[in-house]
Structure 1
């Protein structure tokens, strides 16, 4: 009752609890004495733990053959103590390993890494396939093996990269004697896996997927940071689509002006996603990035045009400015200042050079208050 229902041991000290047993035994089992506090928390608890260990033994014995994932997460108990759970996960379910009380500990990357290393040693590093942890900054710095996010797209890319990294090891596994023994469990599935891993064609497909998905993955990584990147999003999306197209066209051997049915499907998906996410504020931020007016940026790609020459960007930028500046006279001043900014009419002669040489925020801090105070 205590272990299954998670009753606290001090409940055994409650006089009402003890009297209830006395009443029950008066009519049923004469002389029965309820379990006492010390017995519950010592000898009986040890016996129950031994019983649980016996029940878990078949599961733990399978770890060496099938591999296991270490799962870790932090939480606070009712006493507000910071706890770190360590669990082992397999297709048969989770097995709780231990909970670590982090009270009084400085939970930096060294502490977290130490906790995970101890878990690896306790379970056995030869049994562990991966470590699954949360996405906090201290966990990232701890670098415990590899972390696969719960986003479907990202997890696929991370796993494919991992497969490519251990390609030779996988090929060695499927031609080993141990693989032949494993085949007894499911001959058909084992044979299919072996054929795939030994197939150059299959690995070429993996390489191709990673090649055209890489620009999308890179874009997500740039956007998923603590640094300001709102002023970069519009351009990143544009250049990402061009890079995806280049990878697909290169693989299919097509010229830039030819039609690709596959790219057309990918393009529609990307544009649909961008349409849902793009706001006039993205266009305003893009328009106010000094880098995109510099000769250096415009000469990188013949398709690059300055933001004030792009019709779509200009329309959304105008809508955004009109919402920000409701006063007509103030809006008029902002329009004049933006015309001067986008046209390169700066009072300071070194401002044109600084548009490319300095970070956008630094450039605005240095030149903005004197040149375009309202904007």
Structure 2
């Protein structure tokens, strides 16, 4: 099978895809005229920490722009509101909740709990034998191992550990664990 040429990708195939996408959007565009629409914005930060935002939609039917509360977004939101009297800029609820959870995570007792959950999770997943044992005790259920991208993931980690609390206790108090070589490690304690 011969792949399309550079020209075919850039011109006829791209035009065909644009037409197809516009056809899919036609019903939505009709409802935009009747109800208005919201734009949810996200940005990109370059290596030099400069923010770029792109809005690729006509403004005629837009009534709301939703974004995070970074300073560049706040400025863009104010400029958009000044330009369009019926246009509103709104903070993204998920982004606000993420910041609230970040602040809660700074409370010493909570911070210690989060740190312990991360350490427990890391210990289990860094030791194949312990991981296999955990899977056996949790009936093949995994603990959440989300990255450090958002603060919410730390709370999801705690929730998954809490859901498996009885199974994890059973594992760490089992004869199998007590006799294992891992039980003697300082990190395991």
Same fold? TM cut 0.5: no
Larger Rg: 1
TM range (shorter): 0.3 to 0.5
Higher relative contact order (CA 8 A, sep 6+): 2
TM-score, normalisation: structure 1 = 0.21
